[in-house]
Amino acid sequence: MIAGPVEINFDGIVGPSHNYAGLSPGNLAATRNAGATAHPRAAALQGIAKMRANLALGLVQGILLPHPRPDRPWLASLATAYDTAPAHLQAQAMSASAMWAANAATISPAADTMDGRCHLTVANLATMPHRSHEWPATLAQLRLAFAHPDFAVHAPVPAPFGDEGAANHMRLCDGHDAPGVEVFVYGRSGGAFPARQSEEASRAVARRHGLDPARTLFVKQSPAAIAAGAFHNDVVAVANERVLFAHEQAFADPAGFHADLRRMFPAVEIVEVPAAAVPLEDAIAAYLFNAQLVSTPAGMTLILPGEARASEPVWRWLQAHVAGNGPIRRLEVVDVRESMANGGGPACLRLRVVADPATIDPRFLVDDRRLDRIAAVVEAHWPQEIAVAAIGDPALIATVEAARLALLDALDLRELSG
Q: Within 13 Å of residue 47, how many CA atoms lie on the same side as its CB? A: 37
By CB under 6 A, residue 344 contacts ligand SUG: yes
By CB under 6 A, residue 348 contacts ligand SUG: yes
Residue ranges with strand state E in 123-207: 151-154, 169-173, 180-186
Cα separation, 203 vs 276, in Å, equals 34
Cα separation, 143 vs 46, in Å, equals 27
Residues in contact with ligand SUG, counted by CB under 6 A, come to a total of 22
- Indicate which single residue of 13, 14, 28, 30 sits in contact with ligand SUG (rule: CB under 6 A): 30
By CB under 6 A, residue 222 contacts ligand SUG: no
Q: Within 13 Å of residue 252, how many CA atoms lie on the same side as its CB? A: 10
By CB under 6 A, residue 21 contacts ligand SUG: yes
Active site residues: 164, 232, 348
By CB under 6 A, residue 27 contacts ligand SUG: yes
In sequence order, the β-bridge partners of residue 120 are 107, 153
- Indicate which single residue of 8, 42, 105, 167 sits in contact with ligand SUG (rule: CB under 6 A): 167
By CB under 6 A, residue 24 contacts ligand SUG: yes
CB of 88 to ligand SUG, least distance (A): 11
CB of 312 to ligand SUG, least distance (A): 24
- Indicate which single residue of 131, 171, 209, 350 sits in contact with ligand SUG (rule: CB under 6 A): 131
CB of 243 to ligand SUG, least distance (A): 19
By CB under 6 A, residue 102 contacts ligand SUG: yes
By CB under 6 A, residue 273 contacts ligand SUG: no
- Indicate which single residue of 342, 371, 382, 396 sits in contact with ligand SUG (rule: CB under 6 A): 342
Cα separation, 416 vs 256, in Å, equals 45
Cα separation, 268 vs 259, in Å, equals 11
Which span sits near ligand SUG by CB under 6 A: 19-27, 107-115, 184-192, 269-277?
Answer: 19-27
User: Judged by CB, which is closer to ligand SUG: 24, or 54?
Assistant: 24
- Indicate which single residue of 100, 135, 245, 382 sits in contact with ligand SUG (rule: CB under 6 A): 100
In sequence order, the β-bridge partners of residue 12 are 64
Cα separation, 294 vs 325, in Å, equals 17
Q: Are 56 and 368 in contact (CB under 8 A)?
A: no
Helix (H, G, I), strand (E, B) or coil at 83: coil
Angle formed by the axes of helices 40-56 and 368-381, nearest 10° = 170
Cα separation, 192 vs 186, in Å, equals 16
Residues that bind ligand SUG (CB under 6 A): 21-24, 27, 30, 95, 97, 100, 102-103, 128, 131, 167, 231-232, 234-235, 342-344, 348
